[in-house]
Amino acid sequence: MGDGALCEFSSSVAAVTCAIDIQQALSAQNNAVPDEQKIELRIGVNVGDVIVQGHDIYGHGVNIAARLESIAQPGEVLISEAVFQQVAGTEDLSFVDLGEQDLKNIPDPVRVYRVSSGQNSRSVRVDVRYLLSKPAVAVLPITNMTGDPEQEYFSDGLTEDIITALSHWKGFPVIARSSSFTYKGKAVDVRQVARALGARYVLEGSVRKAAERLRVTAQLLDADTGHHVWADRVDRRIDDIFAVQDEIAQQIASIVEPAITKAEIQRPPAVRRTKLSAWDLYQRGNFYHTQFTPEAADQAREFSTRATEVDPTYAPAFAGIARSWNIRIMLGQTTDHKAAIAASFKAARHAVAHDDSDSFAHMTLGLAHMWSGDHDRAVAEVTRSVQCNPSNSAAHIVCGNVLDVAGRPEEGIVELQAGIRLNPLNPGMHQSMTWLAGAYLNARRYGEALASLENTLLHDVSYPLTHVFHAITLAYLGKTDRAEAALSTCERVSPGFIQKFASWRPYRLPEDNDHMIEGLRQAGWQG
């Protein structure tokens, strides 16, 4: 066992009683020693036939006990349902039903209970965290650190706005305000709060005021480990207190969602479900979307397709399929452009049909309409996408791009800036900044377009559209040599992309398409 031990008992009661005695003795000892000297054990107990060979024991029952130990938290005792049936009448023991768990290399799910000494076992409590198919998040009341009791309304209002903004994502359950606010003004242990509320993640924060500025600090914690998933602060001037409150809430919500997605993907195998649900599969596909490469798009589509097979009504998975085709189209990496658009259309329509309130579903349908040249429907769909979830930065970005292509670049710039502001750590920022530059270029604001493009190229040179817009912008600014170099770079990054871009003529207004083509010619394109 290495740093562990396998013990055989003549009865389940003896095994569980010993396990509790060990944990209580260690807890008492740990209170009197420094952290680096503390010893914490995880214990799993199962009942079944065992094979004894010398000083070792083997068997299926032993394997289940070992797997229970692996998913326990330090200081916990987990038992199987078989053990629970034999010890449920034992005085001074209490149990928490964790539901059925998929254990590594164990073919069938095992119902698991957490056991401790305390109230009588007749009141078996259910830990709702283990009954949810998705990880839930609880938002604790934001602490008012201003020293002004009258500012309490701001911190409470900000908490409520964050809860509302997070609930729009629908990617994970959000614990209701009435439950979260029971902890207002209390010093809390995050793990205990999470268990009481049924949350895997806890968001907490504080607000400070100095003169005419506010500073909001927030942190997202994984309640299973106590580790930080994300932490940051937001500083704002108090020009319009309600506008500031709304902006901060949306920004925090837009960052928390991808942070939870990333944390779920990176969870240790011992605490991760082995039988993946539609949600699990979709989130793994969503992870590949952020890489914005043809190969990653194909991986994303594979996971999203598997999710639809698990749940044929799961709208986000169909939206994920459409997004993967959209990425292929954006990168100019399709063997059959029309077929790719048709596949995007089909998946996006399924997504909207299954959930008309899903932001990503309307976003992908809007892009499909844009690819096909139906700009009015494209604008309607992406506008609906933003309305469904105002804190979805991707919805704002796509809405801005669609507005730009539809001949409304100034409106597009506003939406693009909003999306960038909502998620400043977006791994696809180079794409967002390129689209913003395209809107500046289409609005004939060449200086701002160039600044956006050159900032983008400092961080990422993989997106061919960046180089196309860079070449056109430089040409209109009279920097012909640099424009030619930008076209050459684009051809190296993605051979044939320039010709594809010129043939698409994506803009609604003929003069906008002509403007782009003329810029390419001034940059030295011979097509």
- Residue 4, domain member (yes or no): no
Q: Which residues contact 419 (CB under 8 A, 6 or more apart)?
A: 393, 394, 395, 396, 397, 399, 400, 432
187 and 112 both lie in a single domain: no
Which domain-ending residue is among 126, 154, 182? Answer: 126
Residue type, 280: D
pTM equals 0.64
- Residue 96, domain member (yes or no): yes
CA 172 to chain centre: 9
19, 43 Cβ separation under 8 angstroms? yes
91 and 229 both lie in a single domain: no
61 and 188 both lie in a single domain: no
Residue 28 pLDDT: 85
CATH of the domain at 85: 3.30.70.1230
Distance of alpha carbon 408 from alpha carbon 476, whole angstroms: 20
78 and 225 both lie in a single domain: no
Residue 19 pLDDT: 92
Cα angle at 143 between 142 and 146, to 5 degrees? 125
414 and 505 both lie in a single domain: yes
Which mean pLDDT values do the consecutive 10-residue runs of the chain (527 residues) have?
80 89 88 84 90 79 90 89 81 76 82 74 48 72 82 83 80 75 82 78 88 86 83 81 78 82 66 61 82 90 93 92 93 88 95 92 95 94 92 90 96 93 78 94 96 91 94 96 96 92 91 96 91
- Residue 274, domain member (yes or no): no
Distance of alpha carbon 390 from alpha carbon 419, whole angstroms: 10
Residue 87 pLDDT: 82
CATH of the domain at 236: 3.40.50.10610
311 and 261 both lie in a single domain: no
361 and 508 both lie in a single domain: yes
- Residue 449, domain member (yes or no): yes
Residue 276 pLDDT: 65
Half-sphere exposure of 484 (CA within 13 A, CB side): 4
Residue 210 pLDDT: 75
Which domain-ending residue is among 102, 126, 150? Answer: 126
- Residue 214, domain member (yes or no): yes
Segment 113-168, tens digit of pLDDT: 888 776 544 445 545 444 445 678 889 999 988 777 767 878 888 888 888 888 77
Segment 250-288, tens digit of pLDDT: 888 888 877 887 777 676 544 444 456 788 788 788 878
- Domain of 219 in residue numbering reads as 137-265
- Residue 142, domain member (yes or no): yes
- Residue 347, domain member (yes or no): yes
Distances (CA, A) of 263 to 166, 225, 272, 449: 16, 11, 11, 35
Residue carrying structure tokens 């925090």: 252
258 and 141 both lie in a single domain: yes
Q: Which residues contact 33 (CB under 8 A, 6 or more apart)?
A: none
Q: How many CB atoms lie within 10 A of CB 425?
A: 11
CATH of the domain at 354: 1.25.40.10
457 and 479 both lie in a single domain: yes
Which domain-ending residue is among 77, 95, 126? Answer: 126
Residue type, 44: G
122 and 141 both lie in a single domain: no
Q: In what order do the strands lie in the sheet containing 77-80? A: 43-45, 77-80, 110-117, 93-101, 125-126
Distances (CA, A) of 437 to 113, 133, 448: 56, 41, 7
- Residue 70, domain member (yes or no): yes
158 and 80 both lie in a single domain: no
Residue 435 pLDDT: 95
Please state the domain count of the chain: 3
177 and 119 both lie in a single domain: no
